[in-house]
Amino acid sequence: DTGVSQDPRHKITKRGQNVTFRCDPISEHNRLYWYRQTLGQGPEFLTYFQNEAQLEKSRLLSDRFSAERPKGSFSTLEIQRTEQGDSAMYLCASSLDVGDTSYEQYFGPGTRLTVT
């Protein structure tokens, strides 16, 4: 297993355009998380899934943001009508949660979004 992968690694887009990012978690992990990180700050939680169910969404996730995890495997994060303030690193993480046993989150390399 090569770990959590994200695609693309870098994305430059013009303000107002829509963008979509993909995350492939570690194969046996049932939880998937999205975070956003701006320069000089720690990652901020956006949302997470247990299998295909989206269990929590941060207030940071405005109506322009939507995340999906069809079939409980890979996930996509779409940003509509991008704004310059959306420029950030978008990180995906996954973990295994089985009954009373939980394990650490493994992060992907991130997708760096630049909105011009």
Partner 1 sequence: LAKTTQPISMDSYEGQEVNITCSHNNIATNDYITWYQQFPSQGPRFIIQGYKTKVTNEVASLFIPADRKSSTLSLPRVSLSDTAVYYCLVGPFYNTDKLIFGTGTRLQVFP
Binding positions for partner 1, rule: CB under 8 A: 4, 31, 33, 35, 40-45, 48, 55-56, 58, 91-93, 95, 97, 102-110, 112
- Minimum CB separation from partner 1 for residue 16, in Å? 27
Instruction: Please identify, using beta-carbon distances, which residue of 78 and 97 lies nearer to partner 1.
Output: 97
- Minimum CB separation from partner 1 for residue 6, in Å? 9
Produce one character per residue of 38-49: b if its CB has 16 or more CB atoms within 10 Å, e if not: eeeeebebbbbb
- Which token pair is 51? 């299998």
Instruction: Please identify, using beta-carbon distances, which residue of 29 and 115 lies nearer to partner 1.
Output: 29
Cα dist from 37 to 7, 73, 96, whole Å: 16, 23, 23
**Which residue, chain included where needed, has tokens 């770990």?**
3
Instruction: Please identify, using beta-carbon distances, which residue of 23 and 79 lies nearer to partner 1.
Output: 23
- Which token pair is 86? 């959306």
